Each structure stands twice: as structure tokens, then as C-alpha cells.
């Protein structure tokens, strides 16, 4: 229901003469019958789904993982302002030496790894 509330908020706040394009991952919440019914009644909304396990959203999540691992996990802050200051400083440091996310495995490497895993668990009683 939260996603439906989100759509309704966008619908209220975006001028009615504009088309709305949403880029979402393949999370099932975005594809329920209730959401599809809502979208059918709001034809200016266009959903675009990213490929499973290969989305840029996964890269954004990984970046937040770096932030968490490198700064937040062991940090202690006495106020929201102090937390925000530290996060902004970390982002500035990151941006001074940005490191692009690169896929390091080929599709064949991934398929070989998956095949090896499947052989290991085959008949394991799972």
C-alpha cells in the first residue's frame, strides 16, 4: 500500500498535463494487481522496470553500502546535524576520488560459478 500512496502523491503533485515515467526495480510490490489497476486508471503514468540483478539501483545500493561500511557502522553522533556533517564530508571525500563500479566477471564466469554451485548442492537434501 505504501507504493500506491507514493503514486497518489506523485499524481497530486505533478501537473496533470505532464506524463510521468517511473523507473523501478522488479520488486513484486510494483507489479501487484492493485498497482496495475491504479496504473490502468492513470494512463499518464508509465512504468519502466530495470533488469533483475543488473540494475543501476543495485549500484546505488552498493554505494550506500560503502557509506555504511566505511563511515556509519562504527560512528557515533550526538545529533542529526553531526551525522549529516559527517555524511557530507564522506561524500565530498568520495567525490574527490570517485571510483566507478565495474563489472569484474564475464557472463561466462557467472554461469560457471552458478553451475559449480548447483553441482555442489545437487542431491544435498535441500
Instruction: Please indicate whether residue 63 or residue 88 has the higher confidence score (pLDDT).
Output: 88
- Is the separation of the CB atoms in 6 and 29 below 8 Å? no
pLDDT for residue 49 = 78
Three-state secondary structure call for residue 87: helix
Better pLDDT: 68 or 122: 68
Q: What is the pLDDT of residues 54-69, one digit of tens each?
A: 666 777 888 899 999 9
Per-residue pLDDT band for 75 (boundaries 50, 70, 90) equals: confident
Ranges of each domain in the chain: 2-49, 65-126
The dihedrals phi and psi of 114, each to the nearest 5 degrees, come to -65, -45
Across 36-52, average pLDDT: 88
Cα torsion at 29, 35, 36, 41 (round to 10°)?
-160
pLDDT range class, residue 43, cuts 50, 70, 90: very high
The predicted pLDDT at position 124 comes to 59
Residues 6+ apart with CB under 8 A from 94: 66
Of 119 and 102, which is predicted with more confidence?
Answer: 119
Cα→Cα distances 105→6, 51, 89, Å:
36, 17, 32
Q: Are 24 and 56 in contact (CB under 8 A)?
A: no
CA 59-64-66 angle, to 5 degrees, is 95
Amino acid at each position: 500500500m505504501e507504493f500506491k500512496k507514493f503514486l497518489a502523491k506523485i499524481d497530486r503533485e505533478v501537473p496533470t498535463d505532464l506524463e510521468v515515467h517511473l523507473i523501478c526495480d522488479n520488486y513484486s510490490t510494483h507489479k501487484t494487481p492493485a498497482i496495475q489497476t491504479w496504473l490502468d486508471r492513470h494512463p499518464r503514468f508509465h512504468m519502466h522496470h530495470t533488469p533483475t540483478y543488473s540494475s543501476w539501483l543495485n549500484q546505488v545500493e552498493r554505494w550506500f553500502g560503502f557509506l555504511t561500511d566505511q563511515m556509519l557502522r562504527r560512528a557515533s553522533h550526538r545529533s542529526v546535524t553531526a551525522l549529516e556533517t559527517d555524511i557530507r564530508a564522506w561524500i565530498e571525500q568520495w567525490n574527490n576520488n570517485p571510483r566507478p563500479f565495474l563489472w569484474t566477471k564475464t557472463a561466462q564466469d557467472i554461469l560457471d560459478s552458478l553451475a559449480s554451485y548447483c553441482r555442489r548442492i545437487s542431491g544435498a537434501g535441500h
